[in-house]
């Protein structure tokens, strides 16, 4: 636990996508302090060899925990979660939470049994997505879209660049044609695009992502470790919810104001970390 007596959570991603998860963690643990770590020097992880993803995740998260001791680690990246979780859990005693596409809750929400899965090309190809669909959505028509541009549009949005709405309309046209009523946002970057996605697909009734489930898991892990959230709620909230936003590459321009707009005002933003820390 941090020196202030409040929990501290490390949220890790290859870019800004994990901010969507950090926002949900902050909602459920408003007294907690968050450290955000983005390996944007190696973005996107989906194009990296697995050995590189494992090495970078383990090295950067270990370094962050040395500098900012935390009570839980959230790997808010589908690629890193499917590749690096066993290695991370082997090198730290801090609980590590990963993400998976929210196929199970999508199957519970859909009314017409038509589900769209919007993900990165790497996630769409991974066998574990096939397994999730077989296990949790066997009676549903599932349309997958793996578009390489959406993640970059989310990254650009954090720098103040508007989403190209016409291009987004074209990118998700397959889901519109399939008549899906529920869409799984299978990448943590995609909730950041939700306002634009709703313009592209106004007929969709349910938008499902993993953020709330991850936040609930963090609360549960803290309780299991003898750190019930009720005790933290009685304490003083941090002046700013994010103790540090660490970027392995150049910190995105205007990212501090973007984070503040998500309710995640950072106390410190550091680029080229840890080399310049």
Do 184 and 103 form a contact (C-beta atoms < 8 A)?
yes
Please name every residue paired with 206 in a beta bridge, in sequence order, or none if there are none: 182
| Helix or strand run (H / E) with residue 246 | strand 242-247
The yes-or-no answer on residue 187 being catalytic is: yes
Write out the two tokens for 251.
């910190």
In angstroms, rounded to a whole number, what is the distance separating the alpha carbons of residues 128 and 42?
23
Is residue 77 part of the annotated active site? The answer reads yes
- β-sheet with 33-38: strand ranges across: 96-97, 72-75, 8-13, 33-38, 242-247, 269-270
Write down the catalytic residue from 57, 70, 140, 187.
187
Query: Cβ(133)–Cβ(106) under 8 Å?
Result: no
Any bridge partners for residue 141, and if so which?
114
Q: Residue 9 carries which DSSP code?
A: E
DSSP letter (8 states) at residue 42: G
Distance CA 79, CA 187 (A): 9
CB atoms near residue 241 (< 10 Å): 25
Helix 78-91 vs helix 50-67: angle between axes, to the nearest 10 degrees?
60
List the catalytic residue out of 58, 77, 140, 239.
77
> Which residues belong to the active site?
77, 187
């Amino acid at each position: 636990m941090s020196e202030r007596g409040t929990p501290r959570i490390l949220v890790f991603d290859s870019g800004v996508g994990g901010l969507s998860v950090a926002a949900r963690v902050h909602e459920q643990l408003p007294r907690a302090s968050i450290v955000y770590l983005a390996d944007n020097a190696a973005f996107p992880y989906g194009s990296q060899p697995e050995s590189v993803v494992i090495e970078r995740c383990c090295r950067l998260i270990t370094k962050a925990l040395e500098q900012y001791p935390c009570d839980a680690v959230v790997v808010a990246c589908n690629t890193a979660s499917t590749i690096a979780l066993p290695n991370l859990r082997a090198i730290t005693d801090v609980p590590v939470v990963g993400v998976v596409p929210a196929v199970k809750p999508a199957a519970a929400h859909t009314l017409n049994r038509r589900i769209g899965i919007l993900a990165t090309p790497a996630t769409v190809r991974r066998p574990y997505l096939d397994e999730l669909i077989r296990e949790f959505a066997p009676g549903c028509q599932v349309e997958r879209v793996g578009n390489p541009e959406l993640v970059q549009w989310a990254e650009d949005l954090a720098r103040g660049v508007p989403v190209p709405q016409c291009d987004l309309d074209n990118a998700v046209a397959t889901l519109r044609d399939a008549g899906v009523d529920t869409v799984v946002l299978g990448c943590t970057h995609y909730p950041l695009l939700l306002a634009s996605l709703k313009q592209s697909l106004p007929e969709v009734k349910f938008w499902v992502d993993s953020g709330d489930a991850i936040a609930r898991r963090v609360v549960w892990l803290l309780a299991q470790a003898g750190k019930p959230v009720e005790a933290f709620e009685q304490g003083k909230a941090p002046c700013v919810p994010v103790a540090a936003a660490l970027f392995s590459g150049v910190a995105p321009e205007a990212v501090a104001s973007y984070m503040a707009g998500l309710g995640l005002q950072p106390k410190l933003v550091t680029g080229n970390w840890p080399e310049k820390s």
